[in-house]
Amino acid sequence: MAESLGYALPHHTSVRISEAAHATPLNTEHRIDLVVLLEDIAPTLAVGIEVQLSRDPDKPWVVPHYATSLRLRHRCHSVLLIVCPARSVARWARARIPGGGRTAGFDVLVLGPDDIPRVVDPRIAAEHPQLAVLSGLAHRQDASDLPVLLTALGALAMFDAARTESYTTLILDGLGAAMRKALETTLMLHDDTKIRSPLLKRLFRMSREEGREEGREEGREEGRVAGLTYAVLNVLGERGVAVSDAERQRFLSATDDAQLARWLRRSLTAPSAAAVLLDDDAN
């Protein structure tokens, strides 16, 4: 190789013969999270989607195996899309995981939080539920992204039961502490008969029981009201709905959690802050 083909060999101190047999492609030890095929009679592109939650020293060595196995199985160019909900993991993946290239027959792409839009419009989520779920995965740490998370959980109704449970697990497993608390507060305001995912139902019931227990403690009501107020203002803010100083003061001065719960539900779809307050003004 070195003399006849001019191939530059790395430094080495010995040479040995290794096992020539290999495991079958995509065996149970190395399974891609999801494979999407683009077809025109025959497959034209195989896309493997891998969710990467943390740094993994094995992944730089496994990724080329994933990509070439996809190429072998489907006999077309392959792309491995690595979805990293955490920015630090995305930076690590871009620096450490080899990219392949067209001449290698496969590409490796890394998708981080900054590459994924915040989906808060239910209409967009209904048209593109996969994008909504991806948005929920990418933006689930900060409580200010609660509208994104609620939109993603709402989009789960578009999938079959097995995929709904799988996506719910992926989303909930990586929630930040502040986001989890905001979600639990919101879940306590909803009817659990409308929640499709069994996993989300369990979280709902746990949240309700926990809320009842915490309600016995001094100051719980004040914390609940403050949390609801925070949620209403952030939902409107994330949706780009303008809130005047007078309207903001109305929200901040509210003390009735039932009223705030109504406002929170309206804030998900209302065209203006005035529309959120309208029914209460009429009373």
pLDDT of 94: 92
In this prediction, residues 242-250 reach a mean pLDDT of 84
pLDDT of 219: 44
Contact assessment for residue 233 and residue 251, using Cβ atoms and an 8 Å cutoff: yes
C-alpha distances (whole Å) from 225 to each of 147, 153, 183 are 18, 24, 14
**pLDDT-wise least confident of 178-187, 192-201, 273-282:** 192-201
In this prediction, residues 244-266 reach a mean pLDDT of 82
pLDDT band for 93, please (50, 70, 90 cuts): very high
pLDDT of 92: 93
Q: Rounded to the nearest 5 degrees, what angle is found at the Cα of 233, between the Cα atoms of 230 and 238?
A: 115
Q: 164 pLDDT exceeds 90?
A: no
pLDDT of 184: 73
Q: 266 pLDDT exceeds 90?
A: no
Q: Any residues with CB less than 8 A from the CB of 105 and at least 6 apart, and which?
A: 68, 71, 77, 78
Contact assessment for residue 83 and residue 51, using Cβ atoms and an 8 Å cutoff: yes
Q: 113 pLDDT exceeds 70?
A: yes
In this prediction, residues 121-143 reach a mean pLDDT of 84
Q: 283 pLDDT exceeds 50?
A: no
C-alpha distances (whole Å) from 157 to each of 116, 234, 251, 267, 283 are 21, 24, 31, 21, 35
Neighbours of 264 (CB within 10 A): 26
pLDDT of 168: 77
